[in-house]
Chain A
Amino acid sequence: MERIVSEAKKKELNYEVFFTKEETKSLNFEQSELKDISHKIIEGIGVRLIHNGRMGASSSNNVSNLEVLDFALNSARFGKEVQFTFPELPHHSESFGDAKSELEFEKLYPVINEIVRYLENKYQGKVDLSLTQMKLYQKLTNYRCENYIERNTTFFDFGLSLFSVTSSGFLITYSWSWKKSGLTSDDLWNITRKMEQTLVNYDKIAKITSGRYKVIFSPYALLSTLGITISSGVNGFNLARRMSPLLSKLNEKILNEKINITDDPNLDTPSKRGFDDEGLRTAKRSIIENGTLKDYILNLDSAAELKMNPTGNGIRYSFSSLPLPGFHNFAVQEGERSLKDIIRGMDNAILFLIPIGEGQSNIIMGDYSLNVGLGYYVENGEIVGRVKDTMISGNVYTDFQEVLEISKDTELLMSRGYNTFFNLPFIIVDNVSVTTK
């Protein structure tokens, strides 16, 4: 990287250089058996240049490859006119997680085998899982100064899924969680127990008819509806290109007043960041307040196009991609009662746990149409059986006006790699369209 920075200086270029090194170690099981242990190192640099008022960009995984400067200069011949400058950077170094901690595969292997055997015996299914250690280093500099912003991120995660052929048909469920330091046997079992909570009366089928129902959207179902619609609607990229329905809707009520959404870069997840990937300071921002749209998610480019101030949300999803506007941590404010208490008080509802078919409707307009991968019918406060061959459809902007309650329980989900986390509760929505055979 230094070689490229020094060459860019020599050529007096208005440069920005972003370096990442990602090291992962993982142990993977397929169909209840060890499949592989992997060690991967992915590193590379992304270069942006503002040349004759136009933007040029290139990238390479050979971090001393000077050719990237020529490619970026060539790219600037055609690039769009830039209406911003790279910011002056402070010297800043931040770290997340315990960099000294290491995954102990040999120690955890017997525990994993125990979990696999337990799930196989209890549910007559097969288990896929992965145990991963991620160490990420990112470094940003630009022509305005000699300073660097550096970030070290370490985290460990464990994800598992169960596939079983049951009397109610194929059953697939999963669970995932992460930690800042090495995972213990207890952590792995806790994640397993969390997955088991999705398996209640799963071998019975509850017959329902098409109609309108109260639907309890799980964090996964919420990510595929409210999560992607709002995160793409307030995204500066879509707003600047007039592709979002939320353009000129600031301070208008767009959802039920029970809904509050923030972008919180201080939330303690691997997406915690003091500065974004363009070098701007991040801050917690209220995006939806009591159902009213309060703010957008902008990077330098989209802010300049919209003639607004950038919000510190420029994210590079890899060294080779340009910085795009994105949430750090998309958080929906939780409610007061636990999901258990809420379900206990319901006469009937559909508990929508795992959706299939995310993002296939006109999501930016709020439309969704999802197959129920795993879902249950709730009757008189009890889960009575699985709902199958069923589609749940509607529009986020109209359906999420009829929010009955939000749970106290939340779940943290990872999206787009480690770059954005979603902290989501269960939300109960009235009058949702359900189509079934």
Chain B
Amino acid sequence: MIEELKRGLGHISEGYADIRYEVWRTTSINMINGKIEVASTHVISGGSVRYYHRGAYGFSTFTRLEDIEGAVRSAENLAKLLKPKQEVVLKPQSPVKDIVEPKVSINPNKITFDEKVELVKKYHDLLTGNDKFVAVSVTYGESLLTRYFVNTEGTEIIEERPYCGISGSITGRDGNLLQRAFRSFGDLRGYETVLRREADFEEIKKDVLDLLRADKVEGGVYTVILDPQIAGVFIHEAFGHLSESDLIFRNEKLKEIMTLGKDMGTDLLSVVDDGSLEGERGFIAYDDDGIKSRKNYLIKNGKLVGRLHSRYTSSLMGEEPTGNSRAVNFNYMPIVRMTNTYIENGTETFEGLLEGIQRGLYVLGALGGQTELEMFTFSSAKAYKIENGKIGSPVRDVVLSGNVFETLKNIDAIGSDLQMYGGLGGCGKGAQVPLPVSDGAPHIRIKNVIIGGR
């Protein structure tokens, strides 16, 4: 395959070009209320060519290998069609030759389709058995990706990424009230990830019953303790996206706000994006520019120390590429994205975090989040009131919101129980969703968070 891709680039005598070719074999099994809704295997393969000329890319996709040369010519013609105002020279990189094989205990492709169906049925049955549960759903998802990358600098990479995961959800009804609880587990550790999840699935039953008896949260400004999962979503949404330098690189005012060395929060706070964390959902050995992934500090001891780059943005800003140029698949141009993003451990105990909170919320699990740079929102799967330093009754529909710069400064305590979360979903940016990422944190405490409510 690599030789065929290299032949495609053969006629290019000047400028930079690369080809990504990907083979995806995906399996989905979904059971809802005792019926298998989906049990299917899909095979998708294809590639794309980028040709870089003076500051802009020409991009062209192909499905059949015999069409590579046509796609290379098309990308070259598109790149040369128009002239950008600013010429940017991509900083040259040393060529890399590597074959990355997955380090998994059990490769999902060694397990039969029938066994996977049986697993889904087993977890599904575990979730049933309560009259209040009107819809029970379990999904197994698997994407076995083999990707090939070559460029005109001589880089040749083959990388396999066997994603696999499982999720379960229950919709519960009590009178007119419907509530949904779910959990999702997925990463690059192999089939082990979906085994022995019985205790986790039992938690979904507990969560939905808690939600059915929970009161709607009262809107207001609260001190909150975030559990490691929602704290991970917070750092991803509120700060991670702001670190993606394709949002910064030409905006002088934003560059000034994001000047390296600036105080972003308490000196307890350190934030990292690390694509090289093997086994995590956002693990990549190389990004889609062919750059090796690495650990990048974004905030260290409260100070802004780094940001995420592609080759293009790093060349423009005179910084080093960080291995964060990623596309959801070969049909898309890579853009600057996160990988595995987390807050490093602090020293506080959970009891220490609770201490002194008169009126607060303990917020757990995440339904999702969205950011528009300065402002963000994210929502919790469940939450409990905190009254006089003690955890009280459950509340529901807790959606948190704030201004990122103020909120980072309002983090006043950080626990020491960092955990990472992947799952079957992923991150969205532009039209590219879902990109496999993970995020995590220890428990953290934040003051003055706006909670929407009645």
Contact = CB atoms under 8 A, between A and B. Distances in A.
A88 interface: no
Nearest to A65: B43
Residues of B contacting A: mostly: strand
B450 A62 contact: no
Residue among A60, A61, A243, A369 with the most chain B CB within 10 A? A369
A37 B32 contact: no
A104 to B, nearest CB: 11
A219 interface: no
A33 B376 contact: no
B331 to A, nearest CB: 6
Contacts of B253: 124, 165
A279 interface: no
A360 B369 contact: yes
Contact of A371 (B38, B373, B401): B401
Interface residues of B, number: 85
A309 B384 CA distance: 44
B377 A356 contact: yes
Contacts of A436: 450
Nearest to B406: A389
Contacts of A43: 63
B128 interface: no
Contacts of A245: 176, 178
Interface in B1-58: 29, 32-33, 35-46, 48, 55-58
Nearest to B71: A39
Given A78-B117, A170-B375, A433-B454, A37 B40 contact: no
Interface stretch (B82-90, B188-196, B279-287, B355-363): B82-90
Contact of A365 (B62, B81, B177, B333): B177
Contacts of B38: 57, 322
Interface residues of A, number: 80
A31 B372 CA distance: 15
A126 B29 CA distance: 44
Given A38-B60, A163-B251, A241-B33, A391 B219 contact: yes
A38 B58 CA distance: 6
Nearest to B374: A170
Given A170-B373, A360-B369, A360-B377, A30 B41 contact: no
Interface in A8-62: 27, 30-44, 56-62
B40 A75 contact: yes
A311 B46 CA distance: 36
A276 interface: no
B399 interface: yes
Contacts of A388: 375
Residue among B74, B220, B379, B452 with the most chain A CB within 10 A? B452
Contacts of B246: 30-31
A43 B318 CA distance: 40
B353 interface: no
A295 interface: no
A433 B36 contact: no
A58 B376 CA distance: 38
B377 A370 contact: yes
Given A33-B84, A41-B61, A362 B180 contact: yes
A437 interface: yes
Contacts of B249: 31
A165 B399 contact: no
A98 B453 CA distance: 48
A105 B371 CA distance: 32
Given A61-B44, A165-B257, A360-B367, A435 B451 contact: yes
A175 B134 CA distance: 41
Given A38-B333, A106-B81, A362-B397, A370 B56 contact: no
A328 B95 CA distance: 50
Contacts of B84: 33-34
A393 B453 contact: yes
Residue among A39, A62, A67, A371 with the most chain B CB within 10 A? A371
Interface of A: 27, 30-44, 56-62, 65, 67-68, 71-72, 74-75, 77-81, 105-106, 109, 113, 124-126, 163, 165, 169-170, 172, 210, 241-243, 245, 320, 322, 354, 356-362, 364-365, 367, 369-371, 373, 388-394, 433, 435-437
Interface of B: 29, 32-33, 35-46, 48, 55-64, 74-75, 78-79, 81-82, 84-86, 113, 117, 134-135, 137, 171, 173, 176-180, 219-221, 246-247, 249-251, 253-254, 257, 331, 333, 367-379, 396-397, 399, 401-403, 448, 450-454
Q: List 5 tightest A-B contacts by C-beta distance, closest first.
A: A391-B452, A357-B377, A360-B379, A369-B452, A369-B399
Given A106-B81, A390-B450, 11 more contacts: A33-B250, A80-B35, A163-B373, A241-B33, A242-B134, A242-B171, A358-B370, A360-B399, A361-B379, A371-B377, A433-B452
10 contacts: A31-B251, A36-B59, A36-B78, A40-B59, A61-B45, A243-B171, A322-B38, A357-B401, A390-B450, A435-B451
